[in-house]
């Protein structure tokens, strides 16, 4: 007999024998009637054992079960309007596949709320909760939609090294590791490698992979290990890749709405699908808005507070463009006619930054100068600079934080909610 997921049991199964496998979510004993709620990854189903209708063996076995044990149950499906989903199973065989200890480290039912830290300590149990599982079923769909979209637009998926010799994003926030006799680091971004792939002639590449940032501060929007969705594209400028980005974000939202209806329901949310094109405001306009409520001037990076003020003013996804060259990374292309400004952009959700990107410098002399201007040593970048000396097309790209995309989409209040096993200043296990 084929195993059925609890969520799949319906009218066609009425009166038929099925097998379900899963965890004991709840148990109830009313004397002559014993109930189990079995939970599997697609939902829950009620198992009803009336003393008079099941064998003595089955009836007794139920009494000795513990919550969250893994069981395999076969029985006949019966329509029951009062049961969750409208059907119940009258068991004729129950096999205990794994017995769970009690008390549980964490309640899997939603009845007892727990602090995030407690939940993360017992994450495998926390992840059994349907609401939490829904987040990761949606995250899966997000990544799938990203891949579908980029593939359809001619992007080739690549994997670049995570053990590297240099910083990419300006030197700070690197994790050193020992690499035989040398010092090495965990990569902050695939930036240099995705650009080198433009020199390699791939024209359009993407990577979904880990980035490592030694952020010292514990915030609700930073992780020490995050997942970045990166693209790089040849014969393109910043505008070209902004268009790809906004279209992709809308596509991802649509795919989630279409394929994750039940998970959105488990979470109790309705998606608001953004409209593309997103508004573009210049850095100067952004500063002007922020300066109404805080002291900030041209040349400053945007603070969390200013992002909030601007986000409230705009009220939807938007781009900030035309940044001061001096506060963006060395690889960012300045405007030819006004080199103080550069072709960089940030994609913002009203609550926080989702992505940054730019057209890149492809002139090696200018690139060397910019590296030196930012106080870095061009010698450390020789492997990268070499790739610019033998023919490299003009190119542009961006990096989008996968967790931030999921977090803002599902209105989660802490980025850790969007990661299976988050890494932060305090947390290295589980």
Please say whether the beta carbons of 186 and 177 come within 8 A. Answer: yes
Q: Which residue has the tokens 């492809």?
A: 362
Nearer to ligand AMO by C-beta: 47 or 211? Answer: 211
Residue 135 burial (CB count, 10 A): 23
Of 264, 404, 418, 422, the one binding ligand AMO (CB under 6 A) is 404
Listed in sequence order, the residues at least 6 apart from 108 whose beta carbon sits closer than 8 Å to its beta carbon are 23, 25, 39, 67, 68, 125, 128, 129
Smallest distance, ligand AMO to C-beta of residue 309, A: 19
Give catalytic status of residue 221 as yes or no: yes
- Please tell me whether residue 311 binds ligand AMO under the rule CB under 6 A: no
59 vs 323, beta carbon nearer ligand AMO = 323
Residue span binding ligand AMO (CB under 6 A) among the ranges 7-15, 82-90, 144-152, 347-355: 347-355
User: Looking at the chain, how many residues does it have?
Assistant: 430
Q: What H or E segment, with its residue span, contains residue 162?
A: none
Q: Which residues on neighbouring strands pair with residue 88, listed in sequence order?
A: 46, 78
98 is catalytic: no
178 in active site: no
Task: Check residue 222 for interaction with ligand AMO (CB under 6 A).
Answer: yes
Site for ligand AMO contains 187 (CB under 6 A): no
Closest approach, Cβ 192 to ligand AMO, in A, equals 9
Nearer to ligand AMO, 139 or 404 (CB): 404
CA 319 to chain centre: 21
> Under the criterion CB under 6 A, does residue 169 sit at the interface with ligand AMO?
yes
Residue 42 to residues 47, 129, 255, 421, Cα–Cα distance (Å): 16, 11, 19, 22
Residues 35, 46 contacting (CB under 8 angstroms):
yes
Residue 404 is among the residues annotated as catalytic for this protein: yes
Q: Which helix (H) or strand (E) holds 194?
A: helix 191-199
Q: Residue 40 or residue 230: which is nearer to ligand AMO going by CB?
A: 230
DSSP H or E run through 128: none
Q: Is 238 assigned a catalytic role? A: no
Query: Judging by DSSP bridges, how do beta strands 175-179 and 318-324 pair with one another?
Result: unpaired
Q: Is 191 in the site for ligand AMO (CB under 6 A)?
A: yes
- Residue in 129, 251, 404, 416 annotated catalytic: 404
168/330 Cα distance (integer angstroms): 9
What CA–CA distances, in Å, run from 43 to 4, 8, 39, 88? 11, 9, 6, 13
223 binds ligand AMO (CB under 6 A): yes
Pairing of strands 163-164, 182-186: antiparallel
Per-residue interface string for the shown chain with ligand AMO, residues 36-65, x marking contact by CB under 6 A: ------------------------------
Please list, in sequence order, all residues whose beta carbon lies within 8 angstroms of the beta carbon of residue 51, skipping any fewer than 6 positions away. Answer: 32, 33, 34, 59
The answer to whether residue 126 forms part of the interface with ligand AMO (CB under 6 A) is no
Scanning 71-79, 142-150, 158-166, 226-234 for contacts with ligand AMO by CB under 6 A, the matching segment is 226-234
Mask: binding to ligand AMO, 192-221, rule CB under 6 A, as x and -? ---------------------x-x------
Query: Using CB under 6 A, which of 22, 311, 357, 422 touches ligand AMO?
Result: 357
Is 213 considered catalytic here?
Answer: yes
- Of 157 and 265, the one with the shorter C-beta distance to ligand AMO is 157
Taking the C-alpha atoms of residue 38 and residue 71, their distance in angstroms, rounded to an integer, is 8
Q: Which residues here bind ligand AMO, judged by CB under 6 A?
A: 169, 189, 191, 213, 215, 222-223, 226, 228, 230, 353-358, 397-399, 401, 403-404
| Residue positions annotated with a catalytic role | 213, 215, 221-222, 353, 356, 404
């Amino acid at each position: 007999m084929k195993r059925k997921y609890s969520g799949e049991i319906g009218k066609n199964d009425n009166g038929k024998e099925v097998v379900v496998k899963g965890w004991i979510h709840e148990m109830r004993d009313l004397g002559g009637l014993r109930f189990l709620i079995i939970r599997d990854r697609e939902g829950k189903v009620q198992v009803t054992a009336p003393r008079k209708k099941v064998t003595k063996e089955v009836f007794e076995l139920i009494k000795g079960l513990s919550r969250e044990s893994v069981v395999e149950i076969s029985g006949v499906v019966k329509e029951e309007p009062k049961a969750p989903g409208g059907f119940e199973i009258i068991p004729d065989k129950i096999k205990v596949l794994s017995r769970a200890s009690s008390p549980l480290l964490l309640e899997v039912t939603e009845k007892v709320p727990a602090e995030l830290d407690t939940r993360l300590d017992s994450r495998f149990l926390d992840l059994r909760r349907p609401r939490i599982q829904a987040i990761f079923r949606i995250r899966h769909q997000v990544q799938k939609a990203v891949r579908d979209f980029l593939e359809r637009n001619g992007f080739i998926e690549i994997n670049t090294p995570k053990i590297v010799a240099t910083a990419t994003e300006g030197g700070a926030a690197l994790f050193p590791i020992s690499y035989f006799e040398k010092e090495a680091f965990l990569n902050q971004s695939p930036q240099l490698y995705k650009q080198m792939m433009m020199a390699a002639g791939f024209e359009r590449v993407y990577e979904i992979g880990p980035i490592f940032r030694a952020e010292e501060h514990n915030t609700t929007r930073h992780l020490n290990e995050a997942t970045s969705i990166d693209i790089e594209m040849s014969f393109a400028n910043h505008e070209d890749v902004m268009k790809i980005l906004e279209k992709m974000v809308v596509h991802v939202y649509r795919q989630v709405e279409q394929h994750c209806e039940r998970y959105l329901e488990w979470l109790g949310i309705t998606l608001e699908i953004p409209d593309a094109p997103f508004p573009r405001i210049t850095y100067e306009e952004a500063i002007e808005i922020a300066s109404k409520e805080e002291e900030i001037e041209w040349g400053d990076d945007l603070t969390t507070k200013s992002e909030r003020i601007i986000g409230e003013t705009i009220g939807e996804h938007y781009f900030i463009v035309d940044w001061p060259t001096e506060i963006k990374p060395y690889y960012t292309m300045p405007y030819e006619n006004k080199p103080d400004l550069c072709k960089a952009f940030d994609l913002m959700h009203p609550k926080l930054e989702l992505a940054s990107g730019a057209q890149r410098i492809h002139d090696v002399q200018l690139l060397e100068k910019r590296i030196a201007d930012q106080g870095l040593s061009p010698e450390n970048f020789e492997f990268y600079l070499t790739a610019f000396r033998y023919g490299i097309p003009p190119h542009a790209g961006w990096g989008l934080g996968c967790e931030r995309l999921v977090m803002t989409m599902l209105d989660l209040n802490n980025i850790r909610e969007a990661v299976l096993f988050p890494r932060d200043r305090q947390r290295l296990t589980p």
